[in-house]
Copies of this chain bind each other. A is one copy, B any other.
Amino acid sequence: MTISVPADVLSRLKAVLGEGGWSQDPDRLAPKLLEWRDRWKGTTPFLALPRTTADVSAIVGICHEAGVPITTQGGNTGLVGGQIPQGEILLSTERLSTIRDVDAFDDVIVAEAGVTLAAVHEAALQVRRRFPMGLASEGTATIGGIVSTNAGGTAVLRYGNTRDLVLGIEAVLPNGEIWNGLKRLRKDNTGYDLKQLFIGGEGTLGVVTAASLKLFPILASRATAVAAVESPEVAIQLLVRAKEEAGGAVEAFELMGRRGVEFVLKNIPNQRDPLHRSYPWYVLIEIASGEPGAAGAAMERLLGKALEDSLILDAAIAQSEAQAKAFWSVRENQSPGQKPEGATWKHDISVPVSQVAKFIAQATAAMEAFAPGCRITAFGHVGDGNIHYDVIRPDGGDDAAHSAKRNEGSRIVHDIAAAMGGSISAEHGLGSMKTEEARRYKSPVEVAALSAIRQSLDPKRIMNPRVFF
């Protein structure tokens, strides 16, 4: 689809943005038009590179007046195609890259949309604080994208999703007006909490230009372990114990199946099998406490009792930072590790925690019937009920044949999650890829309400028009 942008609109945009503030050079545009897994390729007549919120306001105002659609892009790490324009003007936040403030009294950092997550981590450390979100893509993913997709990651169990970490935002609305909601208050009950719509709004209600984010203390003790269990069901029992034993101190509780671990060992260099023998399932547990020594003590109590009760088959507590990193590396390489195995149907589902084992069992039975010989890896944030459930083509099978069955196969997986009160997109969002699929699972009442809200703020539907209802 090509959207034709009137020449006078382009020249007004160029005038506002000035030298270096825009591009139509195909080489400059290319990396922004391709998603990192090569699944989404886009087109755009114009790349806008605003440097200030006022620039963004001017651009959006011009486009609003002319009815020209805009797609906003941060670090281009999204997985559902939301950031890849299909003919719209592309607004990149890369030059909105200032950390405006970091304050250890208020426990807050105020960062512009184009600041990377890694830069936020670093700035927080400099005032002896921590921004707890962890993403594999943190060197590239930006605050604007993280806020707009309500990103999750590996510390959600303790600290919540992005939604729980945002104190305020600044945004340019679809009509070009600037909304300064950049508060740093822990409490403010004065009307609907407008920022909540922008968090996870995937750029459909305007452009998030900056956010104020909560910082946390650096914790004195941290313990990382891998435990082997017989089944996902036992993993959940162990999770319940971990939460009871360690109070609020469980930071991560990640599940991996043996097959996924083997793919990592086979396909990624310098990885170690986490335990001496092989076991059907593993959990990676991290506990952190403000009390010196407490994390290690809680981990030892938890695993000791679990071994005594034969809940776990084996376990290892990391004895060094390096060993903890090695454990995490096996977890973080679950996705890259399976890539060489061929075409894959990926699912980012969540179900109530109590239903995780049932989900994996039902989905696996269904997939084995639907795609005989397929290889399944199930891994992820089981503490949040969020499983990355991936169905890889049979060993030596045909990629194209497997991909051709993707939609039908994914439908089966999604139906199973939905029947358990689950979500078909726990953390990746809807983007262009899952919007229609989501419509299938939402009630007409909800879709109508969401559409009405969008319509009320963007009546011309110029912001990320391909995304949402």
Contacts and interface: CB of A to CB of B under 8 A. Distances in A.
Contacts of A243: 107, 217
Contact of A193 (B179, B199, B289): B199
A356 to B, nearest CB: 10
Interface string A332-362: 0000000000000000001111100000000
B180 A443 contact: yes
Contacts of A107: 243, 353
A53 interface: no
A75 interface: no
Interface of A: 103-108, 128, 149-150, 152, 156-158, 160-161, 163-164, 173, 177-181, 183-194, 196-197, 199-201, 216-220, 236, 240, 243-249, 288-291, 294, 297-298, 350-354, 381, 384-386, 421-430, 434, 438, 441-443, 445-446, 449-450, 452-457, 468-469
Copies in the complex: 2
Contacts of A240: 104-105
Given A152-B187, A164-B164, 17 more contacts: A106-B354, A150-B193, A177-B445, A188-B426, A189-B429, A190-B424, A191-B468, A192-B450, A192-B453, A193-B199, A197-B197, A217-B244, A220-B247, A247-B290, A289-B290, A453-B453, A453-B457
Choose among A128, A158, A188, A193 the residue with the greatest number of B CB atoms under 10 Å from its CB: A188
Contacts of A163: 193
Nearest to A103: B354
Given A185-B426, A189-B425, A247-B290, A105 B194 contact: no
Contact of A185 (B289, B350, B429): B350
A190 to B, nearest CB: 5
10 contacts: A106-B352, A156-B187, A179-B449, A185-B422, A190-B423, A194-B450, A196-B196, A197-B197, A246-B290, A247-B288
